[in-house]
Amino acid sequence: MKILIVCHNHPRIRPGGAEGYALDLYEQLRDHSGHTPVLLARVGPSGAAAAREMPGRPIKQITDDPNQYLFYTDPEQHDFLMGKGRNKAELTRFYRDFLLAHTPDVVHFQSTLFLGYDIIRVTRDALPHAAIAHTLHEYLPICYRDGQMVRTRGNELCREESPRRCHECFPEVSEQDFFIRKAFIQSHFALVDRFIAPTPYVLEQYVQWGIPRERMLLESQGIVRPAAAAPLIKRPEHGDGPRNRFGFFGQLTAYKGVDVLLRAIDVLGDDFDGHLWIHGANLEHAKPEFRAELRDLLEKTREKVTFAGRYERPELAELLARTDWVVIPSIWWETGPLTVSEAFMHDRPVICSNIGGMSERVEDGVNGLHFRRGDAHDLAAVLRRAAADGALWGQLRAGIPDLHWMDRHAENVIRLYEQLLVERSAPGPGAPSAGRELQSA
Amino acid sequence: MPDVRAATWLVRDVMMVVGDLRLEGELEQALVEGSGRAEQVTARYLAPQAVSGDEGFVGLLVVHLPARRRELLEAGQLTLRAGRRTTSIQSAELMNARRDVSEVLRRQLAPLSPSARNQISHFLATAAGGLEGGLADELSEALFMVRGGLREHLQRPEGGNERRGAAVDKLLRIDPRGYFAFGWIGDRDAEVLRVTAVSPEGERVELGERLFRFARPDVWKLFGRRDRSSTGAGFICYFELQSPSQMPRGWLLETENERGDRLEVEAPAVIGERDDVTAAVLEDPYHQRSQDDDLMAQHVVPAVTRLQEQVEELTAIESVEDFGELPSSPQISVVVPLYRRIDLIEYQLAKFADDPDFREAELVYVLDSPDQREDLLALAAGLSSIYRVPFRVCTLEENVGFANACNAGASVASGRLLVLLNSDVLPARHGWLHELRAFYDGTDDIGALGPKLLYEDDTIQEAGMYLHRPPGSNVWHDAHYFKCLHRSFPAANVSRPVPGLSGACLMVSRELYEQLGGLRGIYVRGDYEDFDLCLRLAEAGRQNWYLPAVELYHLEALSYDSEVRRHANRYNAWLHTHLWRERIEELARENGSPEGATASIPTASASEQGL
């Protein structure tokens, strides 16, 4: 079986959850499944300053791996509202030829950002018999606010989209255009055989939005099992002082709530017996006001906070070994963040916001602690408790569940691919056929 | 023998002859004869008795002499026939009398009375327009010069202390013969009896009786009292010339009050760009407040109708390009006019792509903003390879509006059934085309068929249309059944005959559509022509049906500038009422409602059925 994995970025160029997962899945399939994966990662000026278009040559190699490709698209030519490129030749010529050359049995989309939702249609058209799967990493199809489902005014959580509500968030975009946006995206999603939702919350959101439940698969992302040669580095469990070292791992964007965390540390004041390390990337992509705010907060909390900057994935084990608690203060729903898996893999309990994908993965009082999303005082209280209660850490650490490892996950995903291929080869009344309409809930 | 006093060339091929040509009655024929040949030429004659107020006028002839006939004349003579008399003027005689224009004006015509000179100038302007070859710019300029030489210069109002004044605020060219003026006339002393528009070429049109007058408080202030005329100082006037006028500058307005005080004012440069003209006629500040039937019937409608007719005449297809494999014998042709928002086709194609009906239908996009042709064709090529829905792109030569664009699209359509569809309409589900077709084919004497149209929030935009007349108004406006109620509202879910349907999505037999001449282009900017079509279908014995089982979203107001539309809408409502009043009032009587509003809505019974 040949599997094409399509992603909106390559983690080597720009780290990120969906991008990291795409590469992990690709490597798992390549090294351990006996199937042939191909990775096509979109690249362009917004992903890396160095990436530039070579006219007539939008597809190129990233490494010496013959099955990993970069696909250049120009964000200047991308309509972000509708999610489509203006230069159709990118898809109808180069991508299409690429597909026909590889003729994969399965095309598995991670995100079509910068590629256009119509890439799905070009795929279906070029490969009528291929199975098309799509993992739902965020809510971009539902929500124009970077797919976060957080409202523009006051960062309130959003539980329900509609042209009216979307227009409230973006007064410059008409209700009619939001209606068209949804109709347009759904017309392409109608061609996807199965959507993979990493958590129940994500699944329900998309069902409510209009994807039929029978076209959904609940399957959380697998995490790569650490190689035997690199055993976990663990802090001694006893006799090494209080468990008061907190770590933030992730992108430094407003949605990830790093500001909430810094405010909590500020609330705790100088007599707080604990310290926070911030391991974060992509600050350069954040808005200037947000960068300024972070700078101020870091200045105010510098006694208690170390800004450690960007990290590479191989460093993660060591960084986590020096951390007691992983904090995930996201103000958006998350879709099942990789950070939870990484923390659990290294036996670290997680302190997280009480919403969405992360609150589903982390059980309050079992393997982590919840706090009220966006509430720095509540988070401060939780941090104080975590740092002070000597027994709590060990108790929660013991509650960490078995992880969903990438090998298991890959088996499930392969099983899905096979099932979809069967469905496609014998379209019966219940089988999804090309272009079966999505019905809004 | 004719007595030729002077001859001159107004322009290269138009000769003017002053003299007593001894003609009795109307000039019937003019010939140039020479070298044994005779050829007819166009000529006009102003007889001495046709000019009042000066005995000294002897007669005036203008004759059109294109090059070949000019050569013929040089060797022969000009023969004029009026009644039983025939007069010939030898070439030599004309040559001897030749002078330049200014000399002819100064010596022969200037000594005449002002009234006679005005009549001569008017004659020249109207005669020249009737000559073969029409009125070229050059001739216009010559006539303007002649007018300058002959015209009596009247007093012009200056400053604010005058006893009387007048102004032309705006002068619009509807077409070279039709003009539309806005202005005012104020007089402290006496009623103004005569108001004359003088074209740059010298044609004089008496407007006094035609003027539509209305109150202009700003003019009262200027003259310190209400002007004597009870009708108001302001005026609006559509008028027509006998002969076309070409020059943008040089128009005059002359007035004369009952005491004989005369005044002249110069008009500003003529506004001629069609869109500006239409907008100015429709947006006139007076009729924004209330629509006066006289103003509408005498001035606004004739002017706008001529403008719309010009537009209709411009309707022509520049090119038709096909994308994808078109069905060989489609049952249905879907005609979608595009204006500006060409991007909308992508969303329609995305919705049509997986609907099997569109493999068998003929989808025709009609581009009504032709400057976007290259962009649209490039877009269409890209979209065609993504969506695979076969379609045609029909580019018009000019922007001609919704109705004409639909008609042009229908003219290239080959389906038995026509669906008129707006570009901002997206279907709720697949299969809507064959559902419409099934109902259409299964219903006897059907005229037009319309689906339920929805807003983006699932409320009804229309479930068929009716006409209603607001209390105190004499104009019937179109209105939509069940507007703003939820799509599931029971009474809106009953198939039934309705008076009208929206052109946003409407099915009609192509044969029927063509028999009736399609949509009428007399309405401005896509409005009321749909109801007009439905009324014509009803007149032809057909019934128009509403089919709620088919739903489409009409994302209204995406493609229009609503301010301009508001003015057009008022105009269209008036015109529609004017054309259909009897039929509309008959419908209202049938429904037992003076306002015609909700009478025909099936309420209780339908909601009980829960359909």
Q: Label residue B608 by pLDDT band (50, 70, 90).
A: very low
Q: How close does chain B come to A417, measured CA to CA in Å?
A: 23
Kindly tell me if the per-residue pLDDT of B431 is higher than 50.
yes
Residue of A nearest to B354 (CA): A435
Cβ-proximal residues to B528 (8 Å cutoff; 6+ apart), any chain:
B478, B572, B573, B575, B576
Sorting pLDDT into bands at 50, 70 and 90, what band is B303? very high
Is B558 close to A176, i.e. CB distance below 8 A? yes
Q: Would you call A91 and B386 a contact, using CB atoms and an 8 Å cutoff?
A: yes
Inter-chain contact A435–B353, Cβ cutoff 8 Å?
A: yes
Contact yes or no for B346 and A175 at CB 8 A? no
> What's the maximum distance between 2 C-alpha atoms anywhere in chain B?
98
Interface contact B430, partner A, CB < 8 A: yes
Q: Which two tokens stand for residue A313?
A: 């994935």
Q: In this structure, are strands A325-328 and A245-251 parallel, antiparallel, or unpaired? A: parallel
* DSSP string over B475-540: --EEEETTTTSBTT-GGGGS-EE-SB--TTEEEEEHHHHHHTTSS-TTSSSS-SHHHHHHHHHHHT
SS3 call for B185: strand
Mutate to test the interface with A, among B347, B457, B484 (most CBs of A within 10 A): B347
**Average pLDDT of the residues in B589-597:** 60
Nearest CA in chain B to A165: B457
Going from the C-alpha of B306 to that of each of B199, B302, B303, B310, B311, the distances in angstroms are 20, 6, 5, 6, 9
Q: pLDDT-derived band of residue B580, with 50, 70 and 90 as boundaries?
A: very high
Nearest alpha-carbon partner for A416 in A135, A205, A82:
A135
For residue A239, the model assigns a pLDDT of 52
Q: Which residues of A touch B387 (CB under 8 A)?
A: 121
Query: Both tokens of residue A183?
Result: 């109709």
Whole-number percent of chain B with pLDDT over 90: 63
Which chain B residues are Cβ-neighbours of A192 within 8 angstroms? none
Question: Is residue A229 over pLDDT 50?
Answer: no
Supply the mean pLDDT for chain B: 89
Interface contact A184-B350, CB threshold 8 A: yes
- Dig out the tokens for A282 from the structure: 């992509």
For residues A275-295, give the mean pLDDT: 87
Average pLDDT score over residue span A214-219: 96
| Band of pLDDT at residue A428, cut at 50, 70 and 90 | low
Q: What does the pLDDT read at residue B593?
A: 57
Question: In the structure encoding, which two tokens stand for residue A109, read together?
Answer: 């989309």
Q: Are A177 and A245 in contact (CB under 8 A)?
A: no
Question: pLDDT for B471-496, tens place per residue?
Answer: 888 899 999 999 999 999 999 999 99
Is pTM beyond 0.90? Reply is no
Report the sign of the C-alpha dihedral through residues B107, B108, B111, B116, in that order. Answer: negative
B434-473 residues touching A, CB cutoff 8 A: 456-457
Q: Which of residues B13 and B547 earns the better pLDDT score? A: B547
Q: Which residues of A touch B348 (CB under 8 A)?
A: none
Query: CB B1: neighbour CB atoms within 10 A?
Result: 11
Token pair of A100 as six digits: 């026909």
Q: Of the candidates B347, B430, B456, which has its C-beta nearest A175's C-beta?
A: B456
Here the tokens at position B501 are 């349907």
Chain A hits for B386, Cβ within 8 Å: 88, 91-92, 118, 121-122, 125
In percent, how much of chain A has pLDDT > 70?
A: 92
Contact A84 B346 (CB under 8 A): yes
Buried b (16+ CB within 10 A) or exposed e, A263-292: bbbbbbeeebebbbbbbbbebeebeeeeee
Least confident of A38-52, A150-164, A402-416, B441-455: A38-52
Q: What's residue A151's pLDDT?
A: 95
The mean pLDDT value for B325-354 works out to 96
pLDDT at position B505 over 90: yes
Radius of gyration, CA atoms only, chain B: 31
Kindly determine whether residue B354 and residue A176, on different chains, have CB atoms separated by under 8 Å.
no
Strand A68-72 versus strand A36-43 pairing type: parallel
Q: Which residue of B has its CA nearest to A182?
A: B347
Contacts of A391 (CB under 8 A, 6+ apart): none
Give, in degrees to the nearest 5, the angle at Cα A8 between A5 and A12: 85
Which residues of A lie closer than 8 Å to B, measured between beta carbons? 82, 84, 87-89, 91-92, 118, 121-122, 125, 162-164, 174-180, 183-184, 187-188, 190-191, 434-437
Give pairs for A208-211: CB < 8 Å, separation 24+. A208/A160, A208/A441, A209/A141, A209/A142, A209/A161, A209/A182, A209/A440, A209/A441, A210/A182, A210/A186, A210/A438, A210/A439, A210/A440, A210/A441, A211/A438
Top-confidence range, B210-219, B271-280, B449-458: B449-458
| B102-105: long-range contacts, CB 8 A cutoff, minimum separation 24 | B102/B149, B103/B6, B103/B8, B104/B6, B104/B8, B104/B16, B104/B18, B105/B146, B105/B149, B105/B150
Inter-chain touch A121–B353, beta carbons under 8 Å? yes
> Which of B341, B344, B348, B354 to probe by mutation at the A interface, max A CB count within 10 Å?
B354
B226 CA: distance to closest CA in chain A (Å): 50
**Cβ contact (<8 Å) for A89 and B382?**
yes
Please report which confidence band the pLDDT of residue B604 belongs to, taking 50, 70 and 90 as the band edges.
Answer: very low
Token duo for residue B35:
């070298």
Cβ–Cβ gap A92/B557 under 8 Å? no
Within 8 A of A126 by CB-CB distance, chain B residues are none
Closest CA to B432 of B331, B351, B551: B551
Cβ B350–A178 below 8 Å, yes or no? no
Give the Cα separation of A143 and A196 in Å (integer).
18
Does B556 contact chain A (CB < 8 Å)?
yes
pLDDT at residue A435 is higher than 80: no
d(CA B409, nearest CA chain A) in Å? 25
What per-residue confidence (pLDDT) applies to A254?
Answer: 86
Mutate to test the interface with B, among A88, A124, A191 (most CBs of B within 10 A): A88
Structure tokens at A281: 């990337």
Span B603-607, average pLDDT: 36
Looking at beta carbons, which residues of chain A come within 8 Å of B350? 118, 121, 183-184, 187-188
CA-CA distance, A244 to A388, in Å (whole number)? 8
Rounded CA gap, B537 and B512, in Å? Answer: 8
> DSSP secondary structure string, A383-438?
HHHHHH-HHHHHHHHHTPPPP-BHHHHHHHHHHHHHHHHHHHHS--TTS--TTPPP
**Token output for A437:** 């309409």
pLDDT bucket at A227, cuts 50 / 70 / 90: low
Average pLDDT over residues A196-224: 94
Look at B354 and A92 and tell me if their CB atoms are within 8 Å.
Answer: no
- Condensed to tens digits (0 to 9), the pLDDT of residues A143-179 reads 999 999 999 988 899 999 999 999 999 999 999 999 9
CB spacing of B382 vs A88 below 8 angstroms: yes
Rounded Cα distance between A88 and A116, Å, is 10
Does A2 score more than 80 pLDDT?
Answer: yes
B353 has a chain A CB within 8 A of its CB: yes
| Minimum-distance CB partner of A187 among B351, B457, B557 | B351
Residue B42: count other Cβ atoms within 10 Å of its Cβ.
16
Cα A243 to Cα A275, A340, A386, B571, B605, distances in angstroms: 10, 18, 7, 79, 74
Contact A180 B354 (CB under 8 A): no
Torsion of CA B187, B189, B190, B196, to 10 degrees: -40
pLDDT at A349: 95
Q: Tokens 């997680």 belong to which residue?
A: A350
Mean pLDDT of all residues in B221-241: 75
Give the lowest-confidence range in A401-415, B137-151, B222-236, B547-561. Answer: B222-236
- Single out the residue of B340, B606, B593, B334 nearest to residue B479, CA to CA: B593
Assign A213 to helix, strand or coil.
Answer: helix
Sign of CA dihedral B73, B76, B81, B87: positive
pLDDT over 70 at A215, yes or no:
yes
Q: For residue A325, what pLDDT band results from cuts at 50, 70 and 90? A: very high
pLDDT the model gives residue A124: 96
Among chain B residues, CA nearest to A434? B354
What one-letter code names the amino acid at A1? M
Task: Tell me if B123 sits within 8 A of B46, measured CB to CB.
Answer: yes
Distance (Å, whole) CA B60 – CA A29: 102
Residue of B nearest to A184 (CA): B347
**pLDDT band at residue A209 under the 50/70/90 scheme:** very high
Contact B354 A163 (CB under 8 A): no
Q: Between A125, A174, A183, which is nearest B388 by CB?
A: A125
Name the residue in chain A with its Cα closest to that of B346: A184
Distances in whole angstroms, Cα of residue A177 to Cα of each of A163, B383, B456, B460, B561: 8, 19, 9, 18, 16
Q: Is some CB atom of chain A closer than 8 A to the CB atom of B486?
A: no
CB count within 10 Å of CB A92 equals 20
